[in-house]
């Protein structure tokens, strides 16, 4: 009986160790980490219909969406092969509904995060803060979009947060977030130069302030950065 109790105790200890945070702050079991406060409407509890970690990089002809800001144009190649329903809804929202037609503040970027310093570790065991992204809201898109094909967020990927209508553009790869987001497009090189200028803020043109969302320390823009959306690339 004593040997049986010892074996049970060892098994329980092993299970606890496998599902807890290590002394270095690295989370072993990502399923137990709740990042609901890190993004508006984001939760790792929801399970997408399809998950892929090997999506093709080639464009399938989904068209382009340009977000015009005072910092410059951010052009996104829409990926209808990754998120056909979401891309169709974006096109309809802009073309038919007139979503984000004017840069009047209705649609705007509000969170700007630089790339974290090497070795920075947050409460979830991943890199950060800051979190290497530019986040905004796309009014008129709605917030009832089910997840489609999801992949790991890479630099230049435009990702929906939860069911919408908030989204972010990643400025570095985010393997630590796993397969948590529907990716609907890829920003071109010129657009990423604009995104980098905003998030790096070398000349203090886009100042940020620190805030805490739940357990997450974030940096938000002091003034929202409005954008106007149009289909197609910007004029030369």
pLDDT (tens digit, 9 = 90+) per residue, 168-213?
999 999 988 888 899 999 999 999 999 999 999 999 999 999 999 8
Q: How far apart, in Å, are the Cα atoms of 157 and each of 12, 55, 78, 106, 154?
A: 41, 12, 10, 23, 6
CATH 2.40.100.10 fits 33-231, yes or no: yes
Residue 125: pLDDT band with limits 50, 70, 90: confident
Q: pLDDT tens digits for 97-116?
A: 888 988 888 999 999 999 99
Q: What are the domain boundaries of the chain?
A: 1-29, 33-231
The rounded distance, in Å, linking the Cα atoms of 114 and 123 is 18
In 3D, which of 59, 85, 38, 89 has the Cα closest to residue 229? 89
Q: pLDDT tens digits for 34-86?
A: 455 556 444 444 444 444 454 455 455 579 999 999 999 999 999 999 999 99
Q: How far apart, in Å, are the Cα atoms of 183 and each of 96, 118, 150?
A: 23, 26, 6
Q: What's the angle, vertex CA 235, arms to CA 232 and CA 236, rounded to 5? A: 135
Task: Give the pLDDT confidence score for residue 21 in this predicted structure.
Answer: 34
Average pLDDT over residues 18-31: 33
Q: How far apart, in Å, are the Cα atoms of 123 and each of 37, 116, 144?
A: 12, 14, 29
Task: Give the pLDDT confidence score for residue 39 in this predicted structure.
Answer: 60
Task: Give the pLDDT confidence score for residue 221 in this predicted structure.
Answer: 97
Task: Give the pLDDT confidence score for residue 235 in this predicted structure.
Answer: 63
Task: Give the pLDDT confidence score for residue 15 in this predicted structure.
Answer: 34
Task: Give the pLDDT confidence score for residue 232 in this predicted structure.
Answer: 84
Q: How many CA within 13 A on the CB side of residue 65?
A: 28
Q: What is the CA radius of gyration of the chain?
A: 20
Task: Give the pair of three-digit tokens for residue 213.
Answer: 């969302």
Task: Give the pLDDT confidence score for residue 90 in this predicted structure.
Answer: 95
Task: Give the pLDDT confidence score for residue 190 in this predicted structure.
Answer: 98
Task: Give the pLDDT confidence score for residue 149 in this predicted structure.
Answer: 77
Task: Give the pLDDT confidence score for residue 105 in this predicted structure.
Answer: 85
Average pLDDT over residues 12-20: 36
Q: What is the pTM of this model?
A: 0.77
Contact 111, 220 (CB under 8 A): yes
């Amino acid at each position: 009986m004593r040997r049986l109790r010892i074996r049970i105790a060892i098994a329980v200890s092993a299970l606890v160790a496998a599902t807890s945070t290590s002394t270095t702050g690295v989370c072993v079991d990502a399923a137990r980490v709740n990042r609901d406060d890190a993004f508006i409407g984001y939760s790792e509890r929801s399970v997408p219909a399809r998950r892929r970690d090997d999506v093709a990089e080639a464009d399938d002809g989904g068209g382009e969406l340009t977000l015009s800001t005072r910092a410059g144009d951010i052009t996104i190649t829409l990926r209808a092969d990754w998120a056909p329903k979401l891309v169709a809804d974006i096109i309809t929202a802009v073309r038919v509904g007139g979503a984000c037609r004017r840069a009047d503040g209705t649609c705007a970027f509000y969170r700007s995060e630089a790339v974290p310093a090497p070795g920075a570790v947050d409460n979830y065991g991943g890199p950060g803060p800051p979190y290497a992204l530019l986040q905004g809201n796309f009014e008129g898109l709605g917030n009832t979009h089910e997840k489609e094909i999801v992949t790991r967020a890479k630099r230049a990927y435009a990702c929906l947060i939860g069911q919408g209508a908030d989204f972010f553009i990643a400025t570095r790869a985010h393997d630590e977030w796993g397969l948590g987001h529907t990716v609907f497009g890829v920003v071109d090189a010129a657009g990423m130069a604009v995104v980098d200028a905003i998030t790096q803020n070398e000349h203090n043109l886009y100042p940020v302030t620190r805030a805490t969302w739940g357990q997450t320390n974030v940096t938000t823009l002091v003034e929202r950065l409005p954008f106007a959306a149009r289909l197609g690339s910007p004029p030369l």
